[in-house]
Amino acid sequence: MQYSSPTKLYDAYVFDQDGTIYLGDHLLPGAKRLIEGLRKLGKPVRFLSNNPTKDPQDYVEKLGRLGIPTPLSEIANTVVTTTRWLKTHYPDATVFPISEEPLKRALRAAGIKMSDDPAQIDIVIASYDRTFDYSKLQIAFDAIWYHKRAFLITTNPDRYCPFPGGRGEPDAASIVAAIEACTGTKLRANMGKPEPAMLEAALGDLDVDPANCMMVGDRLHTDIGMAVNTGMASALVLTGDSTAAEAQELPQDRQPTFVLDRIDHLIPAEIRQEWGWTDSDE
């Protein structure tokens, strides 16, 4: 594990967003000029998120407000990957989404059948849902345990969603745990990081070898774990969830390739010097 800037450029760069590019409603130091610099160099960039409570267009608008104009084609979140997976593998299934509206809108738009009748449900989708209650748990229980017809998937494996200032909210893993606990079932599939499906969705339109691409994020389990699972180089930025000490404690084959204090240190030092960049600029 190297605590320094990469010495070469990669064919494409895939970024986590919150904690990596921005924190809340504020860009992190060096993020804007990094993205502009990579585009200037002709390097494709893609943005990922495990957050299923937003439409992909929401990220386009947010990045634009923060000064990083981004087309919809460069965005992939678990709303995208869940819908795509269902259409590919279970196009005729009836699903029960324990989720917020963005995922439900995407499922309707894709023509995927939804129901809250346990006798009709083939797949229970556990997601981030701030309206989760006992009645939803009962429907999932009946579909999986009583009728013995449904199986369980999740949009993302996150235990909590961090907020600026150190607060957070329980995320999809807490709902998965509740369903697993009462039904005795085990999660069959995860549509978010660290599963390779997220990177496949991000890089699918590019003619690149993942081994020559870079995944950048602030979480060891999801962002860096996904890069390791896919055979990509990775950079942990110390502006969000995980720390350098936590990275050092991982087995060597699970550690990030680089650990950076600033995201713009992804650009090799030689190029940064040629462009006249200094850390005090942003």
Annotated binding site for substrate: 49-51, 193
* pLDDT tens readout for residues 235-246: 999 998 899 999
Expressed as residue numbers, the domain containing 25 is: 12-50+193-275
Residue 14 DSSP one-character state = E
Please confirm, yes or no, whether 205 is among the known catalytic residues.
no
Quote the pLDDT of residue 7: 93
Specify if 164 maps to a domain.
Answer: yes
Please confirm, yes or no, whether 18 is among the known catalytic residues.
yes
Query: How far apart, in whole angstroms, are the C-alpha atoms of residue 227 and residue 240?
Result: 17
Of 157, 190, 223, which marks where a domain is finished? 190
215 and 185 share one domain:
no
Quote the pLDDT of residue 164: 65
Quote the pLDDT of residue 2: 56
Quote the pLDDT of residue 282: 63
Specify if 72 maps to a domain.
Answer: no
**Structural domains in the chain (count):** 2
Query: How far apart, in whole angstroms, are the C-alpha atoms of residue 36 and residue 45?
Result: 10
118 and 169 share one domain:
yes
Query: How far apart, in whole angstroms, are the C-alpha atoms of residue 215 and residue 235?
Result: 6
Of 156, 190, 224, which marks where a domain is finished? 190
Which domain CATH number covers 45? 3.40.50.1000
Contact 165, 171 (CB under 8 A): no
* pLDDT tens readout for residues 125-145: 999 999 999 999 999 999 999
Annotated binding site for Mg(2+): 16, 18, 218
Of 143, 160, 190, which marks where a domain is finished? 190
237 and 265 share one domain:
yes
Quote the pLDDT of residue 3: 64
Query: How far apart, in whole angstroms, are the C-alpha atoms of residue 145 and residue 220?
Result: 34
Specify if 122 maps to a domain.
Answer: yes
Contact 154, 127 (CB under 8 A): yes
Contact 17, 46 (CB under 8 A): no
Q: In which residue ranges of the chain is pLDDT below 70?
A: 1-4, 164, 166, 281-282
pTM of the model: 0.83
